[in-house]
Amino acid sequence: MIVGRVMDLLEVLERPIAFAVRLLNPDHQDYVAVEEFFETVVKPVIENEYGYRLTVVDGKQAVEESRIDQDIFSKLRRSGLVIADLTGERPNCFLELGYALGRSARAVVTFQEGTKTPFDVTTYAAHVWKRTADVLERRARLREHLESIESRAPIVNDKPLIP
């Protein structure tokens, strides 16, 4: 009886949010590669294996705030995990990654092999993905990266300045 009630409770609880910071412009030359990476690699690993609900603000869904940028930062603030893919070198992605790092969110940086990243990002342990590997191998590589950074301390100390 108790087990049944616990199971009922678990079914109604919302999964924690993983926010996707990524290239969303379908006219960009890297869009197809990024879309395929998120649909076949990131989403299955993050949702099916880690239990998160992968969320992106791309203008296709209703926003909770009055402006789309407010909605993005609101969701970033509430996310337990941020997956920031820098493929396509989009300034908004760097801004959103900076916000996540500044609030000490657990952030995972990814980008397609060959992406040029600024110095500050090259010092951060990132997952560099290739489109050429098969999907199971790509998922395994992402999993390995997630495990390798799991206990990494945040870049910004989130302790109060005045105790």
Taking only the tens place, the pLDDT of each residue in 76-114 is: 988 889 999 999 988 889 999 989 888 877 899 999 999
Q: Round to whole Å and give the CA distance between 45 and 66.
A: 32
Q: Are 25 and 31 in contact (CB under 8 A)?
A: yes
Among the listed residues 16, 149, 132, 33, the one whose alpha carbon sits nearest the alpha carbon of residue 81: 16
Mean pLDDT of the chain: 86
Which helix (H) or strand (E) element contains residue 20?
Answer: strand 17-21
Q: Which domains does the chain have, with CATH numbers?
A: 15-149 (3.40.50.450)
Flag whether pLDDT at 40 surpasses 90.
yes
Task: For the chain, give the percent of residues with pLDDT over 70.
Answer: 88
Flag whether pLDDT at 52 surpasses 70.
yes
Flag whether pLDDT at 33 surpasses 80.
yes
pLDDT confidence band for 59 (50 / 70 / 90): low
Dihedral angle computed from the Cα positions of residues 43, 48, 52 and 55, in that order, rounded to the nearest 10 degrees: 30
Q: Round to whole Å and give the CA distance between 130 and 125.
A: 16
Residue 117 CB-half CA count within 13 A: 24
pLDDT at residue number 66: 67
Q: Round to whole Å and give the CA distance between 36 and 21.
A: 15
Instruction: Supply the DSSP symbol for 150.
Output: T
Task: For the chain, give the percent of residues with pLDDT over 90.
Answer: 44
User: What is the mean pLDDT of the segment spanning 7-35?
Assistant: 85
